Amino acid sequence: MSMNVLEVMSKLPHRYPFLMVDKIVSLVPGKEIEGIKNVSINEPFFQGHFPQAPVMPGVMIVEAMAQVGGILALQVIEQSASEGVVYLMGLDKVRFRKPVMPGDQLHLKLRILKQKGFVFKLQGEAFVDGELVAEAQILATLEDKKEKETE
């Protein structure tokens, strides 16, 4: 299963300048997902990080991983952004291996390590040209808007 950016936007509440997913290239519900983030010199964070030598902030790479992981979590319980929101709960084992520059294409791969109810532990990896540039374990939870409205 794949998704274009419009389908991604139907799953995530994020919008410019904070949408960090351009495409989902594969998704195995309940198991793993792979997404793409095209890194453009037009990203707002490059104005200050750093003007003379632009490098994508590590926190934005992790955010891109978390957004792709959020799509996987929402797919597991078959919800869209209008029905549920994924919140970041924690990060472990975060490592940055190589700078990400304008013109790079981030390949974001995530897999579910553990799930208990609406809490997910994900292993995320980011690659550029097949080389690992960042990795993290992500703990996230899903808020079910439908369930909250009926309370």
Q: Which residues of the chain carry a pLDDT beneath 70?
A: 78-83, 144-151
What is the value of pTM for the model shown?
A: 0.92
Gap between the Cα atoms of 53 and 31, Å rounded = 37
pLDDT at residue 85, as a whole number: 87
* Placement of tokens 């993290």 in the chain: 136
Q: What is the pLDDT of residues 13-30, one digit of tens each?
A: 999 999 999 999 999 999
- The Cα-based distances of 73 to 76, 113, 118, 138 in angstroms read 5, 12, 8, 12
Closest by Cα among 46, 43, 44, 55 to 134: 55
pLDDT at residue 75, as a whole number: 87
Non-local (6+) Cβ contacts of 147 within 8 A are none
pLDDT at residue 81, as a whole number: 52
Residue 107 is a catalytic residue: no
Closest by Cα among 91, 30, 34, 83 to 63: 91
Looking at the 3D structure of the chain, how many domains does it have?
1
Domain that holds residue 108: 5-150
pLDDT at residue 146, as a whole number: 58
Sign of dihedral through CA atoms 63, 138, 32, 116? Answer: negative
Q: Are 20 and 60 in contact (CB under 8 A)?
A: yes
Q: What is the CATH number of the domain that holds 136?
A: 3.10.129.10
Find the catalytic residue in 14, 23, 49, 145: 49
pLDDT at residue 25, as a whole number: 98
